[in-house]
Every structure is written in structure tokens, then in C-alpha cells.
Structure 1
Amino acid sequence: MEPDSYHRIYVERTLALIKPDAIHRSEEIEDVILKAGFAVLQNRKLQLSPEQCSDFYADQYGKYFFPNLTAFMSSGPIIALTLARSNAIAHWKSLMGPVNSTKARETHPECLRAKYGTTDLKNALHGSESFDAAEREIKFMFPNSVIEPLPSREETEEYLSKHVNPTLVRGLTELCKHKPLNPCVWLAHWLMKNCPNMPQIVVEEAEDKK
């Protein structure tokens, strides 16, 4: 398997928020999200209190816009979404576009903030900045869900190298030898039969104790 293929199969999560100013366009936005190749793992509509907004945006505390930010984010309902796909954080940030919606309309007119936002504060959407931020924000918005940590890219590559590639290479080699009429079905059956993670059950005949 080529190194680039590891990046194609690596799945990441990010948090997306549809803010109060864009919630009336949520169906359109969610449709764009799905067409962009994201899987929606969790979806929740809620309204945060000013105190909850302060906790969520704790890393922005002390900045001049912080009071307006928390007031705006608690002014009406929002929709929280856990999104997943390869490089989800970067892809969602790119789909949203620049933070300032006015500038976004000049530089990235096709992005979501250009279409649905109005100012730098009322910019329609939120996305996690990093892997660590995504984990924290997802847990904040979905406190009752159990979210198992995803393996790192290095762990994924190591697992594929040790446990997937050797079996797949054997299966493809056998496929070339047999040349079945339906190669996909044949390979699927072969992989099920030869999966290294499946216990091999050996049935031994009982000895005749006559």
C-alpha cells in the first residue's frame, strides 16, 4: 500500500456549530456538509447559557470581543454536529472560510461564512482549531456520549503495516492465481476465511473408547 493511501483512510473528528444567526438555514448548511464528504456522527440542537458560552470559549477569555461573543452565542438556539472524514478539521475550516464574513465575501465568496454570515462576530459557523480542541469541544457539547479516542496517524499506519497489508497481499496473490469470474466476491470470501483476527476452530474427532 502506498504511503499516500494512509492519509486517505485516516479519519478525524471535528466539532461544527451552526450559530444563532444561521440556524434558520441549517438544512441547507447540513446538506453542504454531507455533499462535502463528511459523516455526521452526532447532531444536537440546544441553547447555551452565558455561563456555558464562557466555559466553551474559555480560551478567548480576556479578549475585547469576549462579552459580545458570549452574549451572541447565548442569544438563541444553536446546532452542534460531530463531523468525521479524512482531515476533517482542515476540511471543515476550509469549507467555512475566513472568520470575518465581510472579508470572506471578498476573498472566498463560495465559502459558507461568505454565504451565511454577516460580520466577524456573526459569522454563522464554528469549527475546532485543532485535534485537542475538537476532543474537548465534542465532549462539551455531547457530555452524555461515550467517544472513544481515535488512533493517531502513526498508530493507524503501524496497524495497517502489521495486520492488514500482509493478509491483503496474500489474498491478492491468491486472487491472481485463481482468476475467478467474480474477483470481488472471491476476495471477500477469502478475506473472511483467512482473517487473522478470527479464531481458528479446529474440530477434533473424539477417540473411540470402546
Structure 2
Amino acid sequence: FCTLQKRKLQLSPEQCSNFYADQYGKVFFPNLTAYMSSGPLVAMVLARHCAVSYWKDLLGPSNSIKAQRTHPHSLRALYGTDELRNALHGSLSVSTAEREIRFMFPEAILEPIPAGQRARDYLNLYIKPTLLAGLTALCKEKPADPMVRTVVSVLCHTP
């Protein structure tokens, strides 16, 4: 994972109610909002390919007691204490993650990671010209250091 944003904050009970609005009406909702507003937390935006599903796998079951039995090496098994105090939060889906990122980081600009032809177009437009100019300059310079010279030679003569 790559950490794109990180912020330490303390949510009010009202903010917790808004964040966990999908849990409203459930028996544990008052305890959840009270607990989540009882002290500071660290919110992060993590990025990688299929980030939501990988993060959910690392977290394990939301109930830490169950996680200790069924997924003993998961983060919630290691750091959580029960179903309410499960140590870490993870978005359930990409759309939920987008909503939660906007909630915790209102200034964040969410852009999809390009794939397929869009990725190739981006690389050709922005990365390739810069890389080509840098490698061309290195090839012309012919560095004195034998290790650097070898690397430059390989880079300059690899199609």
C-alpha cells in the first residue's frame, strides 16, 4: 500500500453518526458513536491495485473475537478486543471508500487510476518523453563511474 493522505483527528458524536449513518438503527449504534468519538483517531487513504479487497483481507472479520479464532494473523485479531473495539476500519466497497475519503479528507481529489489504453496514453504523453530525455542525456555524458556507466549502457541499448 501507498499512503496518499494521513490525518489525526477527533470526531464529534454527530460526525460519527454521519460517518456510520448506514449503521443507524442497529442496537450497537449508540455505543459505536460514543466509542468512536471518545478519543483521537488516525484516518488514512491507502492506495494500491484492488486496495479495498486487500485491506479487507488484512483486517479480517469485524468481530475481533471471531477474528482471533478464524484469522489469527489478521490486524483485528492482533489489535482488536471485541466487535465494537476492533482496532481498524475498512471500507466495504470502492464506492463506500470514496464516500469515506470525502468525509475524512474533504479537500481530496479522487481520480481513477488509468488502465488499459488510458494508461498507455498517459505513459506515452507524460512519462516516456521525460524518461527518454533523461536517458539520452545520460548516454551522451558517458559517466566515469564504471557501475553507472554499465547501467547507462544497458538502459541506452535496451529497446
After TM superposition, the structure 1 = structure 2 runs for residues 126-205 of structure 1, keeping only pairs within 5 Å, are 126-143=89-106, 145-151=107-113, 156-160=115-119, 182-187=153-158
Alignment of 1:54 with 2:25, yes or no, is no
Please name the residue that 2:56 is paired with: 93
Structure 1: which amino acid aligns with 2:73?
Answer: E
Please name the residue that 2:38 is paired with: 75
Please name the residue that 2:88 is paired with: 125
- Aligned equivalents of 1:108, 1:95: Cα separation in 2: 9
Structure 2: which amino acid aligns with 1:148?
Answer: L
**SS in structure 1 at match of 2:84:** coil
Distance of aligned partners of 1:40 and 1:160 in 2 relative to their CA distance in 1, 3 Å threshold: closer
**SS in structure 2 at match of 1:109:** coil
Q: CA deviation at 1:160?
A: 4.1
Deviations 1:95-143 (A, max 9, x none): 1111110111111111110111000111000011111111110110012
Give % identity.
57
Number of residue pairs matched by the alignment: 135
Q: CA deviation at 1:62?
A: 1.0
Distance of aligned partners of 1:45 and 1:160 in 2 relative to their CA distance in 1, 3 Å threshold: closer
Residue among 58, 65, 68 paired with 1:105: 68
Larger radius of gyration: 1
The list of structure 1 runs, each at least 4 consecutive aligned residues, that deviate by more than 3 angstroms after superposition, is 160-165
Return the TM-score normalized by structure 1. 0.58
**SS in structure 2 at match of 1:95:** helix
Structure 2 gaps of 5+ residues are: 129-151
- Once superposed, what is the RMSD of the aligned Cα atoms? 2.4
Please name the residue that 2:138 is paired with: none
**SS in structure 2 at match of 1:182:** helix
- Aligned equivalents of 1:138, 1:56: Cα separation in 2: 10
After TM superposition, the structure 1 = structure 2 runs for residues 26-65 of structure 1, keeping only pairs within 5 Å, are 38-65=1-28
- Aligned equivalents of 2:120, 2:67: Cα separation in 1: 42
Return the TM-score normalized by structure 2. 0.76
Structure 2: which amino acid aligns with 1:112?
Answer: L
**SS in structure 1 at match of 2:55:** helix
Structure 2: which amino acid aligns with 1:140?
Answer: F
- Aligned equivalents of 2:36, 2:110: Cα separation in 1: 28
- Aligned equivalents of 1:77, 1:130: Cα separation in 2: 25
Distance of aligned partners of 1:63 and 1:156 in 2 relative to their CA distance in 1, 3 Å threshold: same
Please name the residue that 2:140 is paired with: none
Deviations 1:145-170 (A, max 9, x none): 2313214xxx62232466769xx9xx
Distance of aligned partners of 1:64 and 1:160 in 2 relative to their CA distance in 1, 3 Å threshold: same
